């Protein structure tokens, strides 16, 4: 097999990501400031929640935590692995002084400005179409597929489909907390009901479990080892706290630990092996 079809673009064009529910709800609360004050109150952060990333209560707390911030900033916090405050606690002073005077939000702002006149769900989904999709999803699919001589094609990204979807009113894409309405209406009868009515399923792996078991020794050796600490990027105590909280079950930092682990392994492979440390 040399060619495969991918569904990339379907979520961005037809509002399929669950996070668009948060966008729609937050936009409603923004128009009703007393309710936004209630949901944005710090009291919700005191509720004990399961460590599972996708548990409803955990999602609710994450939604409320940044509700009082501007829409674009809170969206970045929702989709980011490390929020702004978490990055500040993680970086060493020396590393912070080396960073350019730029806010990652500016990258999203430049694209969001082109669609800010649309409804919130459409605006954020179209922003994802020109940022998250090409910079993350399509990049990793291209690298992984071409490494095995496989060509992936994305029918949803035919320019005629993109132009059609971008011009649709939001009610044809998203309503009552569910996206891809027009796709379900058009193709639902071609699929088993159990398939087209089920919730969205990603391609995640059990990182939460792995970091408490199989990946535990590697995590300690790599992230808390002398090589990583000598780089001077991250505070040892901050990394140690992430590892300890996750292993004890007091928190779930699986995505954060995975990002740090892969980054360090990449630097060891491509920087250290070529005689560079920065």
Say whether pLDDT at 171 is over 90: yes
d(CA 103, CA 201): 32
Question: Are residues 129 and 149 located together in one domain of the fold?
Answer: yes
Question: Are residues 96 and 225 located together in one domain of the fold?
Answer: no
Question: Are residues 11 and 100 located together in one domain of the fold?
Answer: yes
pLDDT at 276: 65
pLDDT at 51: 59
Q: What's the longest Cα–Cα distance across the chain?
A: 59
Report the number of secondary-structure helices (H) and strands (E) in the chain: 19, 2
Q: What is the mean pLDDT of residues 223-239?
A: 96
Q: Is residue 265 part of a domain?
A: yes
Q: Which domain does 234 fall in, by range? A: 207-274
d(CA 174, CA 87): 33
d(CA 221, CA 210): 15
Q: What is the mean pLDDT of residues 154-168?
A: 97
Q: What is the mean pLDDT of residues 138-150?
A: 95
pLDDT at 180: 93
Q: Which of 63-77, 91-105, 196-210, 247-261 has the lowest mean pLDDT?
A: 196-210
3-state secondary structure (DSSP) of residue 23: helix
Beta strands in the chain (DSSP E): 3-5, 151-153
Structure confidence by residue, pLDDT tens digits, 256-273? 999 999 999 999 999 997
3-state secondary structure (DSSP) of residue 5: strand
Question: Are residues 23 and 158 located together in one domain of the fold?
Answer: yes
pLDDT at 55: 73
Question: Are residues 225 and 89 located together in one domain of the fold?
Answer: no
Structure confidence by residue, pLDDT tens digits, 14-52? 999 999 999 999 999 988 877 677 776 666 566 665 556
Q: Is residue 201 part of a domain?
A: no
* Tally of domains in the chain: 2
Question: Are residues 189 and 223 located together in one domain of the fold?
Answer: no
Question: Are residues 99 and 212 located together in one domain of the fold?
Answer: no
pLDDT at 104: 84
Question: Are residues 71 and 145 located together in one domain of the fold?
Answer: yes
d(CA 76, CA 60): 16
Question: Are residues 152 and 116 located together in one domain of the fold?
Answer: yes
Say whether pLDDT at 67 is over 90: no
pLDDT at 188: 86
3-state secondary structure (DSSP) of residue 173: coil
Question: Are residues 121 and 239 located together in one domain of the fold?
Answer: no
3-state secondary structure (DSSP) of residue 40: coil
More confident residue, 203 or 177: 177
Last residue of a domain, one of 196, 221, 241: 196
Average pLDDT, whole number, for the chain?
Answer: 90
Q: Is residue 260 part of a domain?
A: yes
* Phi–psi pair at 168, nearest 5 degrees: -70, 145
């Amino acid at each position: 097999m040399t060619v495969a079809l991918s569904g990339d673009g379907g979520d961005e064009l037809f509002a399929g990501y669950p996070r668009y529910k948060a966008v729609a709800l937050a936009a409603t609360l923004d128009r009703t400031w007393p309710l936004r004050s209630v949901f944005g109150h710090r009291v919700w952060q005191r509720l004990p929640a399961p460590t599972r990333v996708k548990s409803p209560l955990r999602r609710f707390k994450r939604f409320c935590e940044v509700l009082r911030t501007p829409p674009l900033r809170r969206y970045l916090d929702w989709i980011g692995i490390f929020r702004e405050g978490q990055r500040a606690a993680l970086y060493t002073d020396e590393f912070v002084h080396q960073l350019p005077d730029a806010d990652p939000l500016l990258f999203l702002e430049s694209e969001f400005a082109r669609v800010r006149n649309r409804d919130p769900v459409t605006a954020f989904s179209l922003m994802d179409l020109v940022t998250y999709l090409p910079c993350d999803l399509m990049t990793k699919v291209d690298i992984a597929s071409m490494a095995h001589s496989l060509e992936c094609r994305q029918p949803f990204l035919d320019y005629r489909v993109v132009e059609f979807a971008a011009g649709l009113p939001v009610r044809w894409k998203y309503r009552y907390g569910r996206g891809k309405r027009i796709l379900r209406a058009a193709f639902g009868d071609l699929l088993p009901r159990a398939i087209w009515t089920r919730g969205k399923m990603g391609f995640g792996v059990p990182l939460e479990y792995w970091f408490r078991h199989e990946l535990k020794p590697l995590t300690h050796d790599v992230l808390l080892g002398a090589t990583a600490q000598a780089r001077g990027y991250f505070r040892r105590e901050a990394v140690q706290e992430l590892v300890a909280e996750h292993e004890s079950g007091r928190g779930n930092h699986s995505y954060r630990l995975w990002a740090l682990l892969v980054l360090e392994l990449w630097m060891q492979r491509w920087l250290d092996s070529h005689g560079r440390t920065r």
